[in-house]
Chains A and B, each alone.
Chain A
C-alpha cells in the first residue's frame, strides 16, 4: 500500500544523470554514482555471459551421455562459468554497484575519498574482464575456476595464462575499491554519524573491504607463482619440478575462502536494510548484527583448510579447520535470528525487495546449514567434490548473494534511476527466481550424497531424474533473471517518476532527491540520532 505522507514531489533536475550526456561525461567521470552505473552495465553483461555457460551445462546434463557438449567443451564451459561468475560478477556485484552508489551517500559525503582511483578501478576491472573474455574467444580455459596444480601449470593445453592475467588485473580493481570504501567510511562520515549510527550495509561493506584489501594480494601472488611455473618451468607447485601441489591449494583457498565471504557479506548488509525498511522497525540487536559482520570477516581467514579435508593434509590440521568452520556459523546464525526478531512487532509490507529479503533468509539458512554438513569431517569426506558441494555454494552465492543483489537493486532502483519499477513484474520475477532456484539446486544435494561427482558431463543413468529436475528449474530461473533485465531497462526511461523516499526508509540516501544531484546533498547533512529510527508505538505485544 502507499502512504501519502511518505511521498514528496520529486525534486526537479539537475541530477547526476542529466549532468552531461557526451561519452566523456561517462567514461571520464569521477562521480561515484556514474561509476556505479558503468559497473552495473559491465557486470550485467558478465552475469548473462556466465549464465549462458550455466545454461549450456544444465542442458548437457539433461541426459547421461555426452551429446550437446563433448568433454573438452564441457570442461571449458564449467571453467568459464565459474571464473566469470566469481570474479566478474559475484565479487564486484554489490560492492561496486550498490557500494559505489551508496557508500558516499550513506555517510553523507559528496563522493568517495579517491574519486579518480574509483574510475581507475573500473578501467582495471574492464581490462581484466576483456582479457578473460578474449581468452574465451581464442579457445577458453579448462582448469576449473580453482586452477589446481599441476594440471593448470603443466598439463592443460588451454589459455590459462591469459585468463590468469585477466583475474590478476581485475584483482587490483578489488583492492582499490576496498581501500576507497575503508578510507571513506573512516574519514568522511557526516557530523554526528558515529560508528554505531552507521547503516548495517556500511558495516558489512566495511568488513567486505577489509577482506578485499587483505586477501586479494594473496590471489595475485598465487597467480604469479602459477604463471611462473607454467611459463618458465620454475618449480613451485609441480612435484616433477620439485614443487608441492598442496601449497597451491593452501594459497588459493587462503584467498578464495575469504573471497566466499566477499561474495556474501554485502548481501547480509543489504538484507538488514530491506528487513528494517519493510518492517518499519529498527534492526533488532543492531550491535550484534554489526559485530557479526566483523567476526565473519576475521574468521573467514581461518577456515581455508576445510577445502582440503581429503587433499592429503594432516589429520590434526583438518581437525582444527573443522572446529573453526563450525564457529563461523555462529555469527551467521546471530544475523538470521536478529532479522527474524526484527519482523516481530513490525509493520510488514511485501514489495519486491521484501520478497527477496524473505526468500534470502530461507535460502541463506539452507546454504548455511548444508555448510555445516561440509564442516563435519565424517560427512565431508563422502560429499566433497560432489554435487552436494555445488548445491551448497550455489545456495549461498545465488540463493544468498544474487537474491540480495536483486533485492537491493529493486530497493534502491528509484534512487538510482529516479523512476519506479513495475511492482507486479518485480513480484512475479522474485517468485520465479525462488521457485526456479530451489528446483535447480535442491536435487543436487541428493545427487551429491548419492555420489555424483562434480565436473562430470557423463553420469550414471540412475542420476537422470534429478538432473532433469535441476535443468527444468534452471530454465525457470533463467526467465526470472531475464524479466528484470527488461522491465528495469524499460523503467529507467519510461517508469513513473520516483519520489525522494518511496519506501519511507531512514538513511541519508533517502533524504536527497531521486536521482540525486551530482554532489549528493545540497548541504552536508547532520546526523542526530541512530539509524533505523522509525516511529514506534508503545504497546505490549502478547
Chain B
C-alpha cells in the first residue's frame, strides 16, 4: 500500500477513486513519509510501538505464567500469603513515571518544531468551506483542492474557514491543523521529495466531509516557479487586495483621518485601552471584521464592520495589500494608496497635528 499516486489513477475522474491515500493492495504499516518531520514523527511512533509491544508482551506472559502456576487444583485450594511492600509500589509507579517524562519531552520537542515555521517560508493562504479547500498564492495563483508547493523549501499556510471548523491534514507530512472560522491558524511543512500527496479534511464538517479531499503537489523549485508564472492571473494577491481596498473605499478614511496603513504590518500598535498589539494577520483581520474590538490610541471608534462586504479570501488579499505598503520617508505620499492625493493626505496630517 503506497501513498504515492499511480499513473492509471491520474486518469480517473477525481472524486470517484482519487479520494484517499492508498491505491495499491497489500499491507504496509506506515504511510509514505515525504518530509523530515514525517520521519521524526515515525521514529517517535516506532519507539512507542516497540516499548508498548514489550510491555504488553511482558504483561501477557506474566499473567499466563501466574494463571497456569497458581491455577486452582489439589494442593492449591487456598491462596498463599504474599508480603506487600511500599517499596514495590513505589518502584512500579516510579520507573514508568521516569520513562513517561522522557517520552513527554520527545513528543513536545516535535510539537514545538511543528509550531514554528522558518522565517523564510513561502506563504500560502487557505480558506476552507463546506466542502472544498481554496488556496491562494501571494503571486496570485488560486487553486481549489490542489496545492502546488516547492519541494525542499519551507511552506507556511495561513488558514481560516468560511463556515464550520475543518482540519487540514496531510498524512505524508504527519501534520494536521484545525481550520476555524473567525481566526487564522497556521501550519508549515517542508516536502522532502517531489510527488503528489493526499490532502484531507480531518474535522467532521457535515454532509460531504469525507469528500473534502485534494492533493498536494510538491514540485522542484524551478518547476514551481514555471507553474506560478504559467498559471498566474496577472494579478498578485496584493494587487487583488488593492482592488478590494478600492471597492470598499477604505482610503476615504485611511488615506486621511484614519490610522495610516503604511508600514503597519509587523509593527506594534498602541491601543486606546493602554495595551499594545502586534499588527499581524489576526490583528488586521479583526480590525476589518470587528473594528471596535481594538481601537488604535488617538482615534475614534467610527469604522463600521466590513464582515459582510468582504469574503475571507478578499480579507486575506486586503492583508496582503496592507502588508505591501512600506514605510515611506516623511512627507512623501505613497502613490499606491488609491483615492489619496498628496494634498489631501497632508491636509489630514495637518489637521491631526492641530488637534
Contact = CB atoms under 8 A, between A and B. Distances in A.
B59 A362 contact: yes
Interface string A431-475: 000000000000000100111111111111111011000000000
B96 A319 contact: no
Contacts of B180: 239, 245-246, 311-312
Contacts of A541: 80, 82
A385 B209 CA distance: 13
A421 B175 CA distance: 51
B31 interface: yes
Contacts of B84: 284-285
A358 B172 CA distance: 38
Contacts of A377: 107-108, 110-111
A415 interface: no
Interface stretch (B97-105, B117-125, B268-276): B97-105
B130 A155 contact: yes
Contact of B55 (A369, A452, A455): A369
Contact of A537 (B2, B66, B80, B130): B80
A238 B79 CA distance: 61
Given A240-B181, A279-B70, A315-B111, A455 B93 contact: no
B249 interface: no
Interface stretch (A126-134, A160-168, A339-347): A339-347
Nearest to B175: A381
Interface stretch (A35-43, A323-331, A480-488): A323-331
Nearest to B177: A310
Contacts of A529: none
A446 to B, nearest CB: 6
Given A281-B79, A349-B72, A381 B104 contact: no
Interface stretch (B37-45, B214-222, B225-233): B37-45
Contacts of A281: 79, 82
A381 B111 contact: yes
A245 B182 CA distance: 9
B308 to A, nearest CB: 10
Given A322-B104, A382-B176, A3 B210 contact: no
A322 B107 contact: yes
A224 interface: no
Contacts of B100: 326-327, 329-330, 372
Contacts of B41: 378-379, 381-382
A523 interface: no
B66 A457 contact: no
A49 interface: no
B248 interface: no
B352 interface: no
A151 B108 contact: no
B309 interface: no
A343 B63 contact: yes
Contacts of B80: 345-346, 536-539, 541
A539 B203 CA distance: 59
Given A450-B1, A460-B22, A382 B175 contact: yes
Interface string B195-238: 00010111111111111000000000000000000000000000
A541 B1 CA distance: 52
Interface in B147-196: 163-165, 167, 169, 171-172, 174-178, 180-183, 185
Contacts of A454: 204
B59 A365 contact: yes
Contacts of A457: 210
A316 B97 CA distance: 21
Interface stretch (A11-19, A142-150, A200-208, A209-217): A142-150
B278 interface: no
Nearest to B164: A151
B302 interface: no
Nearest to A153: B164
A370 interface: yes
Contacts of B77: 3, 347
B201 A453 contact: yes
A238 B163 CA distance: 9
B206 A347 contact: no
A457 B1 CA distance: 20
Interface string B52-63: 100110011011
Nearest to A447: B22
Contacts of A537: 78-81
A376 interface: yes
Nearest to B178: A311
A245 B183 CA distance: 10
Main secondary structure of the interface of B (DSSP, over half): mixed
B207 A75 contact: yes
A463 B130 contact: no
Contact of A365 (B24, B56, B89, B114): B56
Given A71-B208, A280-B78, A462-B20, A239 B183 contact: yes
Nearest to B81: A536
Contacts of A372: 48, 52, 100, 103
A288 interface: yes
Given A361-B63, A450-B1, A239 B181 contact: yes
B19 interface: yes
Contacts of B178: 310-312
Contacts of A155: 130, 163-164, 206
Contact of A151 (B40, B81, B111, B205): B205
B56 A384 contact: no
Interface string B24-40: 11111111000000001
A373 interface: yes
B79 A376 contact: no
Nearest to B77: A347
Nearest to A242: B290
Contact of A455 (B97, B169, B177, B204): B204
B267 to A, nearest CB: 23
A347 B111 contact: no
B66 A348 contact: yes
A142 B207 CA distance: 8
A180 interface: no
Contact of B210 (A338, A347, A458): A458
A142 B206 contact: yes
Interface in A301-323: 309-312, 315, 318-319, 322-323
A155 B130 CA distance: 10
B207 A72 contact: yes
A476 interface: no
Contacts of B200: 451, 453
B206 to A, nearest CB: 6
A268 to B, nearest CB: 16
B136 interface: no
A318 B206 contact: no
23 contacts: A3-B77, A151-B164, A279-B70, A279-B79, A311-B178, A330-B93, A330-B100, A340-B59, A344-B66, A344-B82, A375-B107, A378-B41, A378-B111, A380-B107, A382-B174, A384-B176, A384-B202, A450-B1, A450-B28, A460-B21, A462-B20, A537-B78, A541-B80
Given A348-B72, A382-B45, 7 more contacts: A336-B59, A340-B66, A346-B70, A378-B114, A381-B174, A458-B210, A462-B1
Interface of B: 1-3, 17, 19-31, 40-41, 44-45, 48, 52, 55-56, 59-60, 62-63, 66-67, 70-72, 76-82, 84, 88-89, 92-93, 96-97, 100-101, 103-104, 106-112, 114-115, 130, 163-165, 167, 169, 171-172, 174-178, 180-183, 185, 198, 200-211, 290, 307
Task: Identify the 5 closest CB pairs spanning chains A and B, nearest first.
Answer: A462-B22, A460-B20, A239-B182, A451-B171, A378-B110
